[in-house]
Each structure stands twice: as C-alpha cells, then as structure tokens.
Structure 1
Amino acid sequence: MDSKQNCASDTTSNGTSADGATDGGTKDDTLGVTKGRINRDGKPKKLPQMFFVQGTYYECGYQRGEFCKAVIQEHFDASEESIQRYQAFYETPDGKEFVDGFISNCTKRFPHLMDEFKGIYDGAKVDIMKGYFLCLISSQLDDALGNLESAVLAEYGCVTKGCTDIYVNNDNDVIIGHNEDWALDVNNPILLHSKIEPYTMPDGQVIPEQRIMAVYGHPMNFGSSCWFNGHGLGVTDDVLLFPKNKLYKERKTPCVMIGRLLQQSQTPEELTQLCVDEGSGVAWSWSVTLNFGVFGSSTMYNLEMGPSDGPRSNISLKKIVPQGSEGNITGAYSHFNHTKHLADTSTQVQLVHTRQAIYDSKPTPETLKDALAILGDTEGDQYAIYMPPEKKGHWATHWTTVLNFKQKCLYVYIGNPKDKEPDIVLPYAMLQSTM
C-alpha cells in the first residue's frame, strides 16, 4: 500500500459531518457549523473532524500527518521559540545524551510506535527532531532545564488546567464521564479511527491487528485523552505533574509513549502491567492517571501511575464496582487530575480541592444525567468543574466525553454537557465490524 494514498472519512458514525452539521440540526451554511456552541470570540464551535486511517503503523501515522498537515505545521511554527530552546540544549553533550537516551530507549522497546510517530511528521513535512522535542519529550526537557518550576508549576497553581472524571456504577448506568481541560490555543480536536496491521517485534512477538477509536486534543498529539479499542477497553486519562528539576539520565519512558502503548491492551490486567513498564518506568515530570473499564462489564478502574527511582513505575489501582460487590469503591467515584492513592501525591493545587469540595456538596450521582449535571456545573467564583473560556485565564473545558460501558459506546459533548444530548455517538460495534 502506498502510505500516501488511502481512504479517509470526514463523517462521524451518527451521521454528523466533520463540518459540524448534525442530522435534523440547524446549520449555518456560511460558517459550516452547528448553531448553539459558542467560542470565546463569539463564533460557533465546530465539531471535531473524524479521520479513518488504515495500514502499517507508519502508514497510519503518515495519513494522519498528511491529512492534518496545515494545522500541525501552524502549531510548530507558533512553538519555534520553545523548539529553539530545546535544540540549544540538545547541542550540548549532556543534552544530546539526555535526548538520544529517550529516543534510543523508545526505538528499541517500541519500534512499532516509533514508526507511527515518524509517520505523523513525515506526512506533515515537519522535521522529526522537532517532533521529538515538542511532542514526545517536551515535559522531560522542561524538567531537565528547570522550566517546570519556573514556567509550568507556578502557572499550574493559579490557572484552571485540570480534568475531571466522574464514575457512576449501579443498575441505572455504568459510565465514566470526563471533562477535558486544555489550553485555548491548542484546541483542534480530532476523532481518529485506526485499523493497524499486525507487527512483528524484533524478538518475534507479534502485536495483533489494532482497531482504535481515539479523541485527540490536536492532530499532532501522540497521546489521547479518551479512547476505546477493538478489545473492548475504554479509557480516559489525565496528566499530572511530578517535577524533579534535574538532569535525570537514567533511561525512562516518556508518559506520552506509555499512553499510546496502552491502546494495544487486551485486558485490564495487561493495561496495568504495561503501566508498570518493568525495566524502565515512566519518566519524571508529567505522569498519568487512568480511568477505565471494559464494555459489557460492571467493574471499572482508577489507576494512578507515577515515576520511581527504580526501573519501573509506581502504580495504585482501585476498583469501582456496584453496591454489594467486592471492590475498593462502590457506586460512584470522582477524580480531579491529581493522585489520591500513591504515596507521592504529585502536585496539589487549589483547583483540585475546590472541585472536590463542589462534588462532595452534591448528591451522589446515580445516573448519566446526574453525572452530566456535575460535569456541567459552573459554580465557583474562580474555579469550577466546568470552566467556560470566559471564566478565567487561557485554559478551559473544551469538551466532555462519556464512556458508557452498559450501552457500549462513547458520547462526545461539545460545549456544556448539562441538559443536552451528545453531539457525537461512537458505538463500540463500529470497531468490531469488518472494514
């Protein structure tokens, strides 16, 4: 197959086109968007485009990069100052050892994913080293350069960044609802439907065919905030801050690589083991908390993953089960972009505690509607669970996703999810069908 020639779909599974028109909805043909979803500048929001890619890992990456070339190039052009700072560090002996260590570690252990990563930037006509700097190890570079403390940590404590996850698990609903909070200038979400060919690793292990539906905040991103795969696993994730502010030369795995690796998991047990990442472990600076379950199952999980000084990640796993079942947590649960259970609780900010207090003041959610009411709550003078763009600063809640494990589908809500129907419905069955 020519990696540059393949079919791409700009239509979502519920008949919603990528330009934002919905079946039975009201469309402004000039703007090509659905009315009723308003950006900070007063213009209506577009629904995310959906792309279908298939082929080898490299081909799937190439197709994504080629389809989204203009958007990716625009972001890299806007990030040139950061890239130049990373490049200057790379040109020092310590910097080259640091950067090349991550690249060689990932290439040796995850060659299939590095093929996909390279494909994205080949397709977008962006220098692969810039891709490594900005999209694979920027967090680790910022940590090594001391920028997390001066530029990120200080900001993180006074702005609105921080995602929200709410679980409901009973006879009514088995769901995880997720608010995606992100920077206003990195808001170009896409839905990526991938069918990836089997891959034979250097040791002879065969990675089976992968079918994945993922929501990405930007087409350049290697990690996805919400996804489900052909094995029935559905996951939302949040990044966390574990700064060390030193040149940490022991070989570790970038958190975005682990996040992408998890998409090939077939069971919760395999996903958990991949998070441990025996022999390496997640690198310092940013880490991950995962919220996940299996379509058709009433058991859901919260997994917190952080770095350690040994060759593995530290993890904490909790089960969320229905009332009367055996598990750590029953009925409902909330998680606000921080670690609750690991010994190292990472960065704690007022935003997290404010949101937890708001959640605790509400009746325990028992239905999807209850969860959406909390996810859409704008209560609070400074911080809220749902942060509209005009609330404060340059961070906002961009969209809400709901993994419905009982109905076996993913809902996507653009704008406040309270008292509205999902804008996009993605059924698990679409990955099981023959393509």
Structure 2
Amino acid sequence: MDTAERKHSVPVLYVTGSHYECGYEMGRTFKSLISSFLSSSKLLNEYLLPVYESVEGRKVYDQTLSFVKEKYPQYVNEIQGIADGSDSELHKLMLFHFDEILPNVTNQHKSEIESSGCSTVYLNNSSNSQHFLTHTEDAANECLNSFYLVSAHVMSEEPYGKFKVKEEKFTALCYPGHIGGYTMGYNSHGLVLTINTLVANKLLINKAPRHFITRQLMTARNYEEAMEIIKDSGCGSADGFSINMKFIGKNNSSDFNNIEVGPAIDSQSQMDVLKVSGDGSFIHCNHYVRLNIQEYSDYYMRATKARYETLTKLPEPKTKEDIINMLGDTSHDEHWVFRCKSDYGTKTICVGIFDFIKGTWSLYKGNPKENKPVAVLHLEIDA
C-alpha cells in the first residue's frame, strides 16, 4: 500500500541561455524545493557532509572538484548557477554530483544509507506497433514531490568543455539542485535515455563522476558520438552506471542499446554494449549482468536483485499494458518493483514511458496500474 502523500503535478521549466544562466534560472525557480531538499536530505546530512568534513574526505573533494573544473567547466558553471540562484552552498550541490566517490575512496561507506535505484523495461513489438522505453525512477524519500523537468536550450559563445560543444537542447527529469542527465530524458538530436545506478565496490579519483558523463551525453548527436562520450578516452568513469538508450528521428539507429559502465581501466571507461535489434524486450535494474565487476554487497544489492528476478519471472511483455503491470508490480514479499512501502528509504517517485510510435513521454506519479499519467510530453526532435 502506498502510504506516501503524492502530489499529482510535475513542474516544468523552459530555459535558454549560457550554462551559468540556465543553472541560475533553475536555482531561482526551484529555490524552495532545493532549500527544503538540502535541509532534509538524510543522504547529504548524515552521510556525505560528515565525509566531506573529514580530512581525507575534503582532500578527495578538492581533487575531484579540480578535475571536473578542468574537464567539464561548463557543468561546474551550471551547478554554480543553481547554487547562486537558490542561495545554496556550492559544495552541498557538488557532493550530490560526486555521489559515492568520497565515502568509497575514504572507506567511509555506510550500508544503512539506502542508495537510489531504478528499473527499466524496453519493448519493441512491430506486429502491433508497440515500441517503448519505460522506467521507474527510484530516489530518496525527500525527492518524492521535489523533482522537476527542465527543458533547456544552452548556448555558448565558443565550443566548450572536453567535447567542444557550443549548443545543447534537451529535456530531463532533475532531482532538486541537480543537473540533468542522470535520470531519464531526451535531446533534440533524438537520443532518448534512462539511467540505472550500478554500485561498483571500488571507485576512483581523478576520473569522471557519472553525473558529468551522463550530462555530457545529453549533447550526443548520434550513436558514435554517444559511445565516445561514455568511453571518455584519456580518462574514463570514476564509478558505475547503466545507460538504456535509443536514437529516434533522423538519427534513428534502429537498435536499442544497454551499456553497462564500470570504473576506468587504462584511461577509459569499462563498457559492455548490448544491442537489441528488431523485435524483443529487455530488462535492467541496478546490478551488473554482463561486466565482471565486484559490487558493493548490502541491502541495496539484495533489493535490486529481487526486483530483477521479479521482472524476469513475469511473462515477456507484448503490449503497453504488460509493461505497466510489470512497472507497477507489488508481488514480492519485501522488495516491490513499484517502491511505495512506508518503511522504504527509497521510493518510486515516478514512472516514465517513452512511446516511440507516438513520439511521447508520459510521466506517472502514482502506480501506473492504478493511475493515469500526470503529464504527456511530445518529444521535440529536430527534423
């Protein structure tokens, strides 16, 4: 039973300008949500800040901040804009974007702080025109009614950052105070993606935090460019994540791709790319299925594997209704797919359904088995 009070609304901000200007408008517009989130976040106040305030943690923070300023200066400016617009302290926002790096590298991990999760189901059934990428966005309880959508047109006077991008157009779901990319969204070039957090046992410093790689991914113009961003040659990822993506419109690659990403080896991200061509379905949650990477073993890992087992034991989906039943499943004794128990540290804050036939993105705040979407967005892809 869903005991949480869910507000059936999703704020949307349309914004244009430089990285800093767009960030500032995000911070100014959602100032109250960001301030409330920072003050109430158990993850920040009971976990990340104590690590940051330790000698070892502050050293890792400073190293990581110096690294992203060099490699991703545009996104540091964007976060600075969010901080200034919301009257927030920059380091608190940065700690969310550095995620598990500080506690992992300094051996200060706390297993009782439950990480966010997510479940993704893809379906292509051409016989009855069913083609979907669907996703449960699972996050800390404080995010339940605090997330928002940002539709941004970012313009720089000169090509900016490691990948020399001058213009970006994307729409993404954002947690309070976060840049887009590390949840679900799409860009004007036809890239549609969802992200699953993966928890590698050993993370790295002087490598790219996953939030910055996936933010850069929102600039990708085609499949080849997306692969280069994820690989991040010369550096590579600091941590782990899974990308579920497909290009539609003029850049339609016909294939759906799941990319499991692990901490860098030999100065580039570890990657395993699975292509789903033609008809078929695919499921991914929050553990490595193909890459041989040691994972952090705790309650979180047991929960994600239970969700995965539940989904894979259900009949293979053929229709949208089948997928909705999967994403709304509450049959497991303890670990529901649609996470809404009162004792969960993490809730399913929304469900997203990308319909590639209709060109829409539907968002559900409640269980999709029992509720209609609160928003249906048209995917605005450049012709």
Shared fold by TM > 0.5? Answer: yes
CA distance in 1: counterparts of 2:48 and 2:333, whole angstroms = 36
Residue 197 of structure 1 pairs with residue 155 of structure 2 = yes
Q: Are 2:118 and 2:196, in contact at CA under 8 Å, matched by a contact in 1?
A: yes
Matched, 1:334 2:283: yes
> Which sits farther off after the overlay, 233-242 or 351-360?
351-360
Deviations 1:73-116 (A, max 9, x none): 22323344556524432xx3x55542222122211122211211
Corresponding residue for residue 373 of structure 1: 325
Q: Tell me, in whole angstroms, the C-alpha distance in 2 between the residues paired with 1:428 and 1:202.
A: 26
Residue 398 of structure 1: aligned partner:
349
- Cα 1:203–1:288 shift into 2, 3 Å: closer
1:144 Cα deviation (Å)?
2.5
Correspondence for 2:140: 183
Please tell me the residue identity of whatever aligns with 1:142.
Answer: P
In the alignment, what sits opposite 1:19?
Answer: none
Greater Rg, structure 1 or structure 2? Answer: 1
Over 3 Å counting, the alpha-carbon distance change for 1:168 and 1:202 in structure 2 is closer
How many residue pairs get aligned? The number is 371
Q: Percent identity?
A: 24
> In the alignment, which residue of structure 2 is the partner of 1:7?
none
Residue 54 (structure 1) aligned to one of 1, 11, 16: 16
TM-score (norm 1): 0.78
Gaps of 5+ in 2: none
Structure 1 contact 217–224 (Cα < 8 Å) conserved: no
Closer/same/farther in 2, CA of residues 358 and 320 from structure 1, 3 Å limit:
same
Contact 1:55 1:197 in 2 (8 A): yes
Between the aligned partners of 1:362 and 1:203, the Cα distance in structure 2 is 44
Q: Which of 383, 388, 394 is the matching residue for 2:335?
A: 383
Change (3 A) 1:145 1:203: closer
Corresponding position: 1:283 with 2:238: yes
Alignment correspondent of 2:308: 356
TM-score by length of 2: 0.88
Deviations 1:345-364 (A, max 9, x none): 53463323322332233221
Superposed displacement of residue 401, structure 1? 0.3
Q: Which fold has the larger relative contact order, with Cα–Cα distance below 8 Å and residues 6 or more apart in sequence?
A: 2
Aligned partner of 1:303 in structure 2 is: 259
| 1:321 paired residue number | 277
Aligned residue type for 1:147 = Q
CA deviations over 1:113-158 (Å, ceiling 9, x no partner): 12111111011112223322x222242111123232xx13x555xx
**Which string of whole-angstrom CA distances, capped at 9 and with x for unpartnered residues, describes residues 228-248 of structure 1?**
000010000011111327xx5
- Residue segments in structure 1 that go unaligned for 5+ positions in a row: 1-37, 324-330
Q: How many angstroms apart in 2 are the aligned matches of 1:351 and 1:185?
A: 20
Q: CA RMSD in A?
A: 2.5
Letter in structure 1 aligned against 2:132: I
Give the secondary structure class of the aligned counterpart of 1:373: helix
Counterpart position of 2:78: 116
1:69 aligned residue: 31
Bigger mean CA offset, 230-239 vs 189-198: 189-198
- 2:2·2:340 contact (CA, 8 Å) conserved in 1? no
| 1:352-388 deviations in Å (ceiling 9; x for gaps) | 3322332233221111121111111111111122222
